[in-house]
A and B are shown apart, each in its own frame.
Chain A
Amino acid sequence: AQSVTQLGSHVSVSEGALVLLRCNYSSSVPPYLFWYVQYPNQGLQLLLKYTTGATLVKGINGFEAEFKKSETSFHLTKPSAHMSDAAEYFCAVSAAGGTSYGKLTFGQGTILTVHP
């Protein structure tokens, strides 16, 4: 069984400030980890993913995340927030094996607000 907890349903930052969105997961098997972003009235867009290999992964729009197995975390960061980053962000986990690759378990989402 797998689960995801995103700490903070709302995060507010100033433009140019560091963005940190927290995600902790629980998985009984090696996980694949994902961050998705949802802009208003749009679908879920993949920001980045960790499958195997390097634990620091870079995604689109300057975002990156680090897989820390010892902390069961996959926090999302961006050094400098832009107004266009305002959206809802979802962390998700899937099992790294079998036919369940595409069966994602999502966190509850974090709404990021960016102030001028």
Chain B
Amino acid sequence: EPEVTQTPSHQVTQMGQEVILRCVPISNHLYFYWYRQILGQKVEFLVSFYNNEISEKSEIFDDQFSVERPDGSNFTLKIRSTKLEDSAMYFCASSESARELFFGEGSRLTVL
């Protein structure tokens, strides 16, 4: 069964460092998303991406964040200068029609 894969599964970084989280969506999907879950809190929407551009973003998704689909297969989330509060589990999701999302297993980011 096709699945969304994410790398790395866990990344530890120092505050102020840049981090790139990578996702390989399901191959025929057109809609891509990033969500995050801070420990003990709800899963939160960050950004949606369609037709090579951001279609919607949340208040959390400020100038420190960016997304890219560099090569037609990967979908990346970059955090330019990490803060302690960026520590969370980041989930990538993809969808064929935006009506049913398929999630990856998540990338745990720990900022020290």
Q: What are the interface flags for A92-109 relative to B under an 8 Å C-beta threshold, 1 for contact and 0 otherwise?
A: 100000011111111111
Q: Chain A residue with minimal CB distance to B33?
A: A102
Shortest distance in angstroms between B3's beta carbon and chain A's nearest beta carbon? Answer: 8
- How many residues of A are in contact with the other chain, CB < 8 A? 23
| Chain B residues proximal to chain A, CB less than 8 Å | 4, 31, 33, 35, 41-45, 48, 50, 55-56, 91, 93, 95, 97-106
Asked whether, in the complex, the Cβ of A43 is within 8 Å of the Cβ of B98, the reply is no
Can you report 18 residue pairs joining A to B where beta carbons are below 8 Å apart? A36-B103, A43-B4, A45-B103, A46-B100, A46-B102, A49-B99, A99-B50, A100-B56, A101-B31, A101-B95, A101-B98, A104-B35, A104-B43, A105-B45, A106-B42, A106-B43, A106-B44, A107-B42
Q: What residues of A have a CB within 8 angstroms of the CB of B104 in the complex?
A: 43
Shortest distance in angstroms between B46's beta carbon and chain A's nearest beta carbon? Answer: 10
Majority-rule SS of B interface residues: strand
Asked whether, in the complex, the Cβ of A103 is within 8 Å of the Cβ of B45, the reply is yes
| Chain A residues proximal to chain B, CB less than 8 Å | 32, 36, 41-46, 49, 51, 90, 92, 99-109
Q: What residues of A have a CB within 8 angstroms of the CB of B43 in the complex?
A: 44, 90, 92, 104, 106, 109
Given A32-B99, A104-B101 in contact, is the A43-B106 Cβ separation under 8 Å? yes
Q: Given A105-B45, A106-B43, list of 13 further CB < 8 A pairs?
A: A36-B103, A42-B105, A43-B91, A49-B99, A101-B31, A101-B98, A101-B99, A102-B98, A103-B48, A103-B56, A104-B35, A104-B43, A106-B44
Q: Chain A residue with minimal CB distance to B45?
A: A103
Q: How far is the CA of A109 from the CA of B55 in the complex (A)?
A: 27
Asked whether, in the complex, the Cβ of B99 is within 8 Å of the Cβ of A51, the reply is yes
Asked whether, in the complex, the Cβ of B56 is within 8 Å of the Cβ of A99, the reply is yes
Asked whether, in the complex, the Cβ of B42 is within 8 Å of the Cβ of A46, the reply is no
Q: How far is the CA of A104 from the CA of B45 in the complex (A)?
A: 7
Shortest distance in angstroms between B109's beta carbon and chain A's nearest beta carbon? Answer: 15
Asked whether, in the complex, the Cβ of B103 is within 8 Å of the Cβ of A102, the reply is no
